[in-house]
Amino acid sequence: MRRGEAAGLRWCDIDLDGKTAVICQQLQQYDGRLAICPPKTPHSSRVIALDHTTVAALAAHRDRQHAEAAAYGPGYRASGFVFTNLNGDPMAPDRLTRTFRALAAGAGLPPVRLHDLRHGAATLASLAAGVDLRVVQDMLGHSSIVLTADTYTSVLPAVAHTAAEKVATLIIQAGCLVPGTRRRRRRQAPRTRRRARAQAGGRRNRMIRRSRAHPGRQLGRPRHRHRRRLR
Percent of the chain beyond pLDDT 90? Answer: 37
Percent of the chain beyond pLDDT 70? Answer: 69
Answer yes or no: is 17 within a domain. yes
Instruction: Tell me how long the chain is.
Output: 231
Average pLDDT over residues 146-169: 65
Q: What is d(CA 208, CA 222) in angstroms, rounded to the nearest whole number?
A: 11
pLDDT, position 195? 66
- Model confidence pLDDT, tens digit, residues 86-142: 999 999 999 999 999 999 999 998 888 888 888 777 777 766 666 777 777 777 787
pLDDT at 210 over 60: no
Average pLDDT over residues 4-14: 95
Domain count, the chain: 1
Answer yes or no: is 200 within a domain. no
Average pLDDT over residues 80-91: 94
At position 153, the amino acid (one-letter code) is: T
pLDDT at 8 over 90: yes
| Alpha-carbon Rg for the chain in angstroms | 35
Answer yes or no: is 27 within a domain. yes
Q: How far is CA 120 from the centre of its chain?
A: 9
219 pLDDT band, cuts 50/70/90, is: low
Determine phi and psi for 25, rounding to 5 degrees: -160, 170
Answer yes or no: is 25 within a domain. yes
User: 71 is in which domain, residue-wise?
Assistant: 3-91
CATH number at residue 19: 1.10.443.10
Q: What is d(CA 166, CA 212) in angstroms, rounded to the nearest whole number?
A: 53
Answer yes or no: is 79 within a domain. yes
Answer yes or no: is 44 within a domain. yes
pLDDT at 46 over 70: yes
Q: What is d(CA 124, CA 119) in angstroms, rounded to the nearest whole number?
A: 9
